[in-house]
Chains A and B, each alone.
Chain A
């Protein structure tokens, strides 16, 4: 897994190194691999996460920080890819974590933390994106400026983002769940409360549209 700009080149004599905006605090919890690990690794990961949850329930801020560092990047990225607004994505990810903290004492440690968190993130992101599109449709000229999507600077432009923008929020969420978070269609169906067949067909349509858009760019 490569977090953008994070990877630093080997620093030999006279070499040039680009420090990434997020490269300063790589922690044990940073998601350097995808959310799906090899079975043995995944089991270890689950055990470790259960320990963190138990400790966090008992008041350990350190354990909470492990959980946070482990899951923030995925949650934030998922939100961003659905809403395409950095500030909103930050708020959504924060709110999801705050919601998780409020429910922490009731959380069943046998369940994985990530899907629980990402379910909140993705559903909130869809709600936010829907609300924004509604506001945009009804905005007057005077208010449009305040509800328009945050312009993406040249620095941050990316064709996959641009292609995703052409999809509906629900389709973006499906793509994000399937290809960023690597959920199965069955898991996605549970997260979004949709029939599995609907997930499959919408995924297919979303992917086709995305392929066309990306090819056109």
Chain B
């Protein structure tokens, strides 16, 4: 129902350095957009700018095509669910949900109908006369969502809505929110989280934000794309390291040869040669690069014969999670190399194992932190 467009948006407090820099962003109708980033990256600030709770220091914000910089929050057609839920403690569930409608002088029958409908969808019908203090965390969460729904906004804003819930409830509510989004297909959603599982499972589009020095150098936005784009085609080492758990392994290397079907590199610590399926057009032989390979893409193979496209490493620690085991392998870098192995694998500390690193699943980063473009595009 309402698209959101940010052009050159900046935010700074007083004379300090901007905390949000150069944000150009288009969020389409009916899109579920997640702002993801490390703490302190300004994702909540960006959300509050859309909500109208913070001014833009520079740039412009349009919602549904209309310039919103000077429009008050109430008139932007947005509704927000706060991290703390921000329910009014002296009002019943019904009064909380009806508050905005009552202020807008909506006829009583309409209020009753809309609140009743929202309560039905959120299974709050039996709780309408209760006060927030008599509700559980999950119920309060649903009331907060209900308060947003009854106003039929063009945009729903969620500020870390699940962070106050326990793990089980978080999983349930996540699914609930996804279901609600399907039901209210007309509205777009902006959702702030630091939890990449929430981001990956809910988002149509993830906006990953930089912090600190990266933000000063490259602006606030690190990458915008679908969850799988960010996973498979990170544009920088920051994005590659942020998405995925355990995080991607990074190994220093030099370009050894450039071919049409990829770039051959030699690892600095072991001298092993690997081919990475990226375009060598802008690389030179001998250039220092960083190889990135996700733990889940390191595939254990039978030890012995030295095969191409493999790494041989000694296991230093095993974290057994049951379903999977994380194998920590010796590496020259500051962090160990980690490989995911099936939970029933029988590796022991001290074993030397051989791993295959498929060329298409390896990433290459230049010294300035940017990714070298892959040869294959994503399906």
- Indicate, yes or no, whether A interacts with B: no
